[in-house]
Chains A and B, each alone.
Chain A
Amino acid sequence: DQQVKQNSPSLSVQEGRISILNCDYTNSMFDYFLWYKKYPAEGPTFLISISSIKDKNEDGRFTVFLNKSAKHLSLHIVPSQPGDSAVYFCAASNVQGAQKLVFGQGTRLTINP
């Protein structure tokens, strides 16, 4: 039962353009969502998060949007830079229930110069 899904295994974007990574979830109890970024041979690093009481959170070039009715979140990176090339994981949890983080399968983003 894949509760968090990233349906695009890979995405290629030109430098300077917007990158949009998508994530869908099925568990309506999830109330906290995160994006992690992973470079090869390194562990995932936290990027940005959003609580279910919000529909948008912005941090510099990174913005996460949450659509609770559609059970969908997305990460926007603008402008995209070569250093953004990595695997991006979305994750979700039920904070009130102190539940564990559930990760998606990841999307490999490649920024082309």
Chain B
Amino acid sequence: EAGVVQSPRYKIIEKKQPVAFWCNPISGHNTLYWYLQNLGQGPELLIRYENEEAVDDSQLPKDRFSAERLKGVDSTLKIQPAELGDSAVYLCASSLLAGGTDTQYFGPGTRLTVL
């Protein structure tokens, strides 16, 4: 069974440029998560989707970040414009259900460097 797929794996951009990350969750998984992981820190939730609906986006900086999950499968996370402090690893995860004990499976992440 294929795991969570993310692309690109690495991205280097100049500040003020836009950037987008793509995630394909494990087939059949209804819940999708985007996390931000800064160097030396654990992942922090940005947004959680249940099917197409964003049910928790309280930690998403909505002035520059946006996300969508069309048709309840793939998802895209966008930053526009990017700032130096956005340099981090962006992780996507999925789980079968939204239950608190449901295991989250993580993708390899996209490492973003903003110059």
Contacts and interface: CB of A to CB of B under 8 A. Distances in A.
Interface residues of A, number: 26
Contacts of A98: 98, 100
Given A103-B43, A103-B44, A105-B40, A93 B100 contact: yes
B24 to A, nearest CB: 13
Given A42-B108, A103-B42, A103-B43, A94 B100 contact: yes
Q: Which of B93, B100, B107 has the most chain A CB atoms inside 10 A of its CB?
A: B100
B39 to A, nearest CB: 10
Main secondary structure of the interface of A (DSSP, over half): loop
Contact of B108 (A4, A41, A93): A41
Contact of A45 (B40, B99, B106): B106
A18 interface: no
Contacts of B42: 4, 89, 91, 103-106
Given A100-B48, A100-B56, A44 B43 contact: yes
Nearest to A87: B42
A113 interface: no
B83 to A, nearest CB: 23
B4 interface: yes
Contacts of B91: 43-44
Interface in B11-34: none
A27 to B, nearest CB: 14
Contact of B105 (A9, A46, A103): A46
